[in-house]
Amino acid sequence: MKFQKFTIINSKTSPTEAEEVEVLFNLDHIISIKPIRISRMDKILNGFWIRTSNGKKYRASKIPDELVNIIGEKYQGTVNIIADSEDQPFQ
């Protein structure tokens, strides 16, 4: 068994007010990891949709460095938003 630490978003109440929790996953039981955008109250995060062999799915804000190197560093961290849409000129 090969365990690694992930930071998942625990959203029992609402997705925007979710808390981040560190958990250990067995890498042998992870079926897929897909890059996604995660909406929070104050920011948008680049995150990951993790699917395990028992059919459960998790939204992760951080994954182990060895997996980030495989997927790509551009998918980790916050998304830079220039300004609110009201401040942008019409084009």
Specify the CATH number for the domain of residue 62. Answer: 2.30.29
Q: Pick the residue with more confidence: 56 or 16?
A: 56
The model's pTM is 0.72
Q: Is residue 48 situated within a structural domain? A: yes
Once rounded to an integer, what is the mean pLDDT over residues 14-29? 84
Percent pLDDT > 70 in the chain is 75
Tell me what the mean pLDDT of segment 11-24 comes to.
Answer: 77
CA distance 10 to 12: 6
87: in domain? no
Is 91 a member of any domain?
no
Of 10, 9, 49, 4, nearest to 28 by C-alpha is 4
| Residue-range definition of the domain harbouring residue 11 | 3-79
Residue 86 has pLDDT above 60, yes or no: no
- Establish if 22 belongs to a structural domain: yes
Instruction: Say how many domains are in the chain.
Output: 1
Indicate if the pLDDT at residue 62 is higher than 70. yes
**82: pLDDT strictly greater than 70:** no
Whether 20 is in a domain gets the answer yes
Residue 86 maps to a domain: no
The type of residue at 7 is T
- CB within 8 A of 43, min separation 6: which ones? 78, 79
